[in-house]
């Protein structure tokens, strides 16, 4: 019967796989990585929060597609949490971790990846349902969308917990991988192949849907007199989703290929030298998505700008009112009228920006 090593610290497994973690994240390199990671994690939190808030605030986004898009932003937000936890539990600290803490570190990353992947798959189904009927949005009810979102996170949490539940090498250290010293190589092969296959399926589905939309749009354009912008809306939504999917595949595929090579026990592939750069590339994906939403969707960008503009305006008005004594404001109607007029002018300026944005959308 094989001996199990649940009570060992991670230095036992790192030393056995001859993985050097001390020289990879030390000195200036460690400071640079922490600064880089901290900046992008803050951007992930702020930008994805804006996306979620925009979907909640703007009634034009109260449709299944945008609910799922907001859930994808929530997955990116969760990925930011996972990266923050990783930053403070990597490098030399890795060897001091307990087995359970290391499982938590990797489980958070696996959960965020699965949540994004399954969410993109559900969006593909939603787009298929709507596009095949040549509608902008599908007929999914809010209850069904809520059920789908709950299911996405249930699947993500389960997949992130699979190694903790038993598919690991703690009781058979001969099959441990080098990149993930307590993960079984067979699990890494399963994990990477599954994700790469889903990548391929989604790319094929989206290409087929996009070709169908283009063909139908060209046919309808010559037979209908509806507004051009309305006919182009499904195509614009598809371009947004395909750009998000493309960025996801580009950012995550190198890391998954490295995991696959490690699972296949490729000792001459030099995977130890590139693993941290591919991890940073995966982090970049959560940074790119909010930029893609705002760049590809004019209404989303206008809503986000409106929230930022109104927030800064409210703060400036609060500062101004706090500096003016109430007795002065009550002394003269002319003075109070001046401040009211000033506030109206500022609101008009902000409103002009909104109208301009709507005109562009």
Q: What is the 3-state secondary structure (H, E, C) of 189-227?
A: HHHHHHHHHHHHHHHHHHHHHHHHHHHHHHHHHCCCCCC
* Distance of alpha carbon 85 from alpha carbon 221, whole angstroms: 51
Tokens of residue 359, six digits: 């005109």
- pLDDT winner (highest mean) among 34-38, 52-56, 243-247: 52-56
Return the minimum-mean-pLDDT range out of 17-26, 268-277, 297-306, 346-355: 346-355
Give the model's confidence band at 217: pLDDT under 50 very low, under 70 low, under 90 confident, else very high: low
pLDDT at 151: 95
- Please give the CATH number for the structural domain made up of 8-15+23-220+229-307: 1.20.1070.10
145-167 burial: b if 16+ Cβ within 10 Å, else e: beebbeebbebbeebbbbbbeee
* Distance of alpha carbon 257 from alpha carbon 196, whole angstroms: 8
Cβ distance 114 to 256 under 8 Å? no
Give the model's confidence band at 333: pLDDT under 50 very low, under 70 low, under 90 confident, else very high: very low
Judged against a pLDDT cut of 60, whether residue 290 lies above it is answered with yes
Query: pLDDT digit string (tens) for 236-263?
Result: 777 777 888 888 888 888 888 888 888 8
Residue reference for tokens 């930008």: 47
Tokens of residue 238, six digits: 């598809």
298 vs 60: which has the higher pLDDT = 60
Give the model's confidence band at 347: pLDDT under 50 very low, under 70 low, under 90 confident, else very high: very low
pLDDT at 158: 95
Tokens of residue 202, six digits: 């989604």
Cβ distance 235 to 220 under 8 Å? no
User: In the chain, which ranges are continuous DSSP H helix?
Assistant: 10-16, 27-57, 64-87, 99-131, 142-165, 185-221, 228-263, 275-296, 298-323, 326-331, 333-360
318 vs 265: which has the higher pLDDT = 265
Q: What is the mean pLDDT of residues 232-237?
A: 63
DSSP state letter for 2: P
Query: pLDDT digit string (tens) for 164-195?
Result: 998 998 988 888 888 888 999 999 999 999 99
Give the model's confidence band at 110: pLDDT under 50 very low, under 70 low, under 90 confident, else very high: very high
280 vs 45: which has the higher pLDDT = 45
* Distance of alpha carbon 361 from alpha carbon 351, whole angstroms: 15
pLDDT at 355: 38
**Helix (H) / strand (E) containing 72:** helix 64-87
Give the model's confidence band at 313: pLDDT under 50 very low, under 70 low, under 90 confident, else very high: low
- pLDDT winner (highest mean) among 7-11, 224-228, 238-242: 7-11
Judged against a pLDDT cut of 70, whether residue 57 lies above it is answered with yes
pLDDT at 312: 55
18-44 burial: b if 16+ Cβ within 10 Å, else e: ebebeebbeeeeeeebeeebeebbeeb
Burial class of residue 360 (count of CB atoms within 10 Å of its CB; 0-12, 13-18, 19+): exposed
- pLDDT winner (highest mean) among 39-53, 272-286, 338-352: 39-53
Q: What is the mean pLDDT of residues 82-89?
A: 88
Judged against a pLDDT cut of 50, whether residue 334 lies above it is answered with no
* Distance of alpha carbon 83 from alpha carbon 112, whole angstroms: 10
Cβ distance 237 to 68 under 8 Å? no
């Amino acid at each position: 019967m094989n001996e199990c090593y649940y009570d060992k610290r991670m230095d036992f497994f790192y030393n056995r796989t001859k993985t050097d973690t001390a020289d990879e994240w030390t000195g200036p390199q460690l400071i640079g990585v922490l600064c880089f990671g901290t900046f992008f994690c803050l951007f992930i939190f702020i930008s994805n929060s804006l996306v979620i808030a925009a979907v909640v605030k703007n009634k034009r986004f109260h449709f299944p597609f945008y609910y799922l898009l907001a859930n994808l932003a929530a997955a990116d937000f969760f990925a930011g949490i996972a990266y923050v936890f990783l930053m403070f539990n990597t490098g030399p600290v890795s060897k001091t971790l307990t087995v359970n803490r290391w499982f938590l570190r990797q489980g958070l990353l696996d959960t965020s990846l699965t949540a994004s992947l399954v969410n993109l798959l559900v969006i593909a189904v939603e787009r298929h349902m709507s596009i095949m009927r040549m509608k902008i949005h599908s007929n999914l009810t809010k209850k069904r969308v809520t059920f789908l979102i709950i299911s996405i996170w249930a699947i993500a949490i389960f997949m992130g917990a699979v190694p903790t539940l038993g598919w690991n090498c703690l009781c058979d250290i001969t099959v441990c991988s080098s990149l993930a010293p307590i993960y079984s190589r067979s699990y890494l092969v399963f994990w990477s192949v599954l994700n790469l296959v889903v990548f391929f399926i989604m790319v094929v589905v989206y290409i087929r849907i996009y070709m169908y939309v283009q063909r139908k749009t060209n046919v309808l354009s010559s037979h209908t007199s509806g507004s051009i912008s309305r006919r182009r809306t499904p195509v614009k939504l598809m371009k947004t989703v395909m750009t998000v999917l493309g960025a996801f595949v580009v950012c995550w595929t190198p890391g998954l290929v490295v995991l696959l090579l490690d699972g296949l026990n490729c000792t001459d592939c030099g995977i130890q030298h590139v693993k941290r750069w591919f991890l940073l590339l995966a982090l970049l994906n959560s940074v790119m998505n909010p930029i893609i939403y705002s760049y590809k969707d004019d209404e989303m960008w206008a809503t986000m700008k409106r929230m930022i503009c109104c927030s800064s305006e409210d703060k400036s008005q609060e500062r101004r009112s706090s500096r003016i004594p109430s007795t002065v404001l009550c002394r003269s109607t002319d003075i109070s009228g001046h401040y009211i007029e000033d506030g109206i002018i500022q609101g008009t300026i902000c409103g002009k920006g909104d109208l301009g944005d709507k005109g562009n959308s």
